[in-house]
């Protein structure tokens, strides 16, 4: 294991975060705070509580997930796309590092950022609405699993993308809609029965539901199934990454 290399990549990426602190941390926190104002205050005025939880509190896990997903993807995809774009990727490709080490370095850094971000948003929320966390360890497990899984997805997108537009495409066209339809702002039970079935095909539903269960003990789907689904998605992403490195897809000519 080339630990020096993992460390080098990881620290390089974390230094990038520090340089772009405003963009990496402050902007998502700000936009999350805006969600609180709009959804929490405006809608919360009409829906006082969901399954015994005040609406403002109810949406916290979903909001954290929303940021976690989008930031994991954008951090990780940019982290690997940028060196491809500038050509500096030549050095990583010519270095004595394995695919696993490259992934640990890049995805590890992106996931770290997302987890930090998630915790900051959680802290921010705790100042605004009453919060309780019934299962803190499960909460952390979901936080880490989701950050890693979607950083991996971002990494894959960063390798697949052939331009900055494509880099934005997947988050814009796929992830954001799935997240909004994933029960961040409502319980799936509030949907008409037909839509409820459709919602169960949305992987984000499982994340949000499981994550929310760790806070309030209420869930749309069984938390065990949530964790299983997340692990399944993680496995798919790992498989894709392994395939990419075995074939050199988009990395080597």
Partner 1 sequence: MTAATFWPPDRALMHAAIEVSALEKTYASGFTALKPLDLAIRRGEIFALLGPNGAGKTTLISIICGIVNPSAGRVLVEGHDILLEPRKTRSLIGLVPQELTTDAFETVWDTVSFSRGLFGKRADPAHIERVLRDLSLWEKRDSKILSLSGGMKRRVLIAKALSHEPQILFLDEPTAGVDVELRRDMWSLVRRLRDEGVTIILTTHYIQEAEEMADRVGVINRGELILVEEKAELMRKLGRKRLVLQLQERLAAIPPSVARENLELAGGGAELVYTYDAKAGRTGITALLGDLAAAGIRFTDLRTEQSSLEDIFVDLVRRAA
Q: Which residues bind partner 1 (CB under 8 A)?
A: 2, 4-5, 7-9, 11-12, 15-16, 19, 86-88, 90-98, 248, 252-253
HSE at residue 176, side-chain half, CA atoms within 13 A, is 7
- Distance CA(149)–CA(118), nearest Å, equals 15
Cβ distance to partner 1 smaller for residue 12 or 240: 12
50, β-bridge pairs: 53
- Distance CA(240)–CA(229), nearest Å, equals 17
CB of 81 to partner 1, least distance (A): 14
CB of 85 to partner 1, least distance (A): 10
Cβ distance to partner 1 smaller for residue 222 or 247: 247
Cβ distance to partner 1 smaller for residue 57 or 74: 74
CB of 213 to partner 1, least distance (A): 41
Cβ distance to partner 1 smaller for residue 101 or 220: 101
The per-residue b/e assignment along 107-133, b for 16 or more CB within 10 angstroms, e otherwise, is bbbbbbbbbbbbebbbebbeeebebeb
- Supply the Cα-derived Rg of the chain in whole angstroms: 19
Among residues 201, 196, 202, 221, the alpha carbon closest in space to that of 211 is found at 221
CB of 58 to partner 1, least distance (A): 41
Cβ distance to partner 1 smaller for residue 4 or 132: 4
The number of angstroms, rounded, from the C-alpha of 146 to the middle of its chain's C-alpha atoms is 5
CB of 221 to partner 1, least distance (A): 43
CB of 96 to partner 1, least distance (A): 4
- Distance CA(238)–CA(244), nearest Å, equals 10
């Amino acid at each position: 294991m080339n630990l020096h290399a993992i460390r080098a990549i990881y620290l390089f990426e974390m230094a990038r975060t520090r340089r772009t602190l405003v963009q990496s941390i402050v902007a998502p926190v700000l936009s999350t705070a805006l969600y609180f104002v709009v959804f929490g205050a405006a809608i919360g005025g009409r829906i006082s509580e969901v399954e015994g939880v005040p609406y403002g509190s109810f949406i916290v896990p979903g909001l954290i997930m929303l940021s976690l997903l989008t930031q994991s993807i954008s951090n990780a995809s940019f982290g690997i796309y940028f060196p491809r774009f500038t050509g500096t990727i030549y050095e990583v490709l010519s270095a004595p590092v394995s695919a696993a080490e490259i992934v640990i370095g890049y995805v590890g850094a992106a996931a770290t950022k997302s987890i930090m971000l998630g915790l900051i948003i959680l802290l921010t929320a705790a100042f605004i609405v009453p919060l309780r966390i019934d299962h803190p360890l499960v909460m952390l497990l979901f936080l880490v699993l989701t950050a890693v899984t979607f950083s991996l997805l971002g990494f894959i997108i960063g390798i697949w993308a052939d331009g900055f537009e494509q880099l934005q495409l997947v988050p814009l066209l796929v992830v954001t809609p799935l997240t909004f339809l994933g029960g961040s702002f409502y319980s799936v039970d509030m949907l008409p029965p037909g839509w409820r079935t459709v919602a169960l095909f949305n992987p984000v539903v499982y994340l949000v539901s499981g994550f929310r269960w760790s806070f309030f003990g209420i869930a749309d789907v069984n938390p065990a199934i949530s964790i299983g689904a997340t692990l399944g998605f993680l496995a798919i992403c790992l498989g894709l990454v392994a395939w990419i490195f075995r074939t050199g897809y988009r990395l080597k000519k």
